[in-house]
Amino acid sequence: MGRFSILVGDITQSDAEAIVNAANESLLGGSGVDGAIHRAAGPELLAECRTLHGCPTGQAKLTKGYQLKARYVLHTPGPVWQGGEHDEAALLASCYRSCLQLAEENGIQSVDFPCISTGVFGYPAAQAASVSLRAIMDFLRDHDTPQQVRVVCHTEEAAKVLRQMYNFWFAGTKADRL
């Protein structure tokens, strides 16, 4: 297995050193992945998130994982889809880069991402896949840490979209295969 992979699973059961929470700006829990991570981590996660005083869209903050298998949670508020003309792509790419940068700064060797903003925030899956893959692969090409990055999709359908986009952008060149 290379440094990057796509799989189907429950991110709250991830054995990565850090998982990414597709959060809202308050960082105080919500629906979808955000709610699932908060429930699985236990009340200590919410207590720590309260001390962070939120996070702007496209940025990231780090907490402990508490009752999760993952040691850390990287929280990043993704953009709400507004038709694609409100800097959504730049903000979504920034979510991935910010998480990876924070992981590198903290020596975190493995990170699992969900498909940020594709749930209740309404970002179209194919566009989100293109943006996220480019951000991840560009970062991995230029940095040694983290050593492993996975996108953990909740459904096989979401994984299929990501795999197709990966094959479209990266399958042709060995330099991009990490």
Tell me which residue has tokens 């996660």: 45
Q: What is the pLDDT of residues 74-121, one digit of tens each?
A: 999 999 999 999 999 999 999 999 999 999 999 999 999 999 999 999
Exposed/middle/buried for residue 169 (C-beta within 10 Å: 0-12, 13-18, 19+): middle
- Entry pTM: 0.94
Q: Write down the pLDDT at residue 2.
A: 83
Q: What is the pLDDT of residues 132-145, one digit of tens each?
A: 999 999 999 999 99
Q: Which CATH class is domain 4-176?
A: alpha beta
CA pseudo-torsion sign 156, 96, 45, 79? negative
Cα–Cα distance measured from residue 88 to residue 91, given in angstroms and rounded to the nearest whole number: 5
Which long-range contacts link 165-172 to residues 24+ away (Cβ below 8 Å)?
165/126, 165/129, 165/130, 165/133, 166/6, 166/129, 166/133, 169/130, 169/133, 169/134, 169/137, 170/133, 170/137
Specify whether the CB–CB gap between 74 and 113 falls below 8 A. no
Is the pLDDT assigned to residue 176 strictly greater than 70? no
Q: Which of 15, 34, 112, 176 is catalytic?
A: 34
Specify whether 15 is catalytic: no
Query: How do the domains of the chain map onto residue ranges?
Result: 4-176
